[in-house]
Amino acid sequence: MNKHQRFLEGDKKAKKVIKVYRALGWAKDEEVYDEWLKYLRNTRVPCSCMMCGSVRKHFGQVTLQEIKAELDEIDGINDIYS
């Protein structure tokens, strides 16, 4: 996949995200459409506030993925010793 194809793929995904944001009432202004499109090509998170950002950054807790990995590791150890 070349650079132009990746750009178009990101553009297509960003347009889908903008549809969702419009339905939620976040991106209703037409003049900021191009700005949102540029931003959402690289990331799907609209901001880095406490609701959208990292749990570790704001609360010092482990993420859900890390919790699942620890539980899988514990289950694997229990399977070995049982």
Tens of pLDDT, residues 50-63: 666 777 777 788 88
* pLDDT number for residue 25: 76
* pLDDT number for residue 46: 63
* Structure tokens given for 19: 């549809």
Entry field: residues in the chain: 82
- Assign 17 a pLDDT band (cuts: 50, 70, 90): confident
DSSP characters over the chain: --HHHHHHHHHHHHHHHHHHHHHHTS---STTHHHHHHHHTT-S-S--STTTS-HHHHH-PPPHHHHHHHHHHHHHHHHHH-
* pLDDT number for residue 80: 67
24-77 pLDDT per residue, tens? 777 667 667 777 777 777 776 666 676 667 777 777 888 888 888 888 888 777
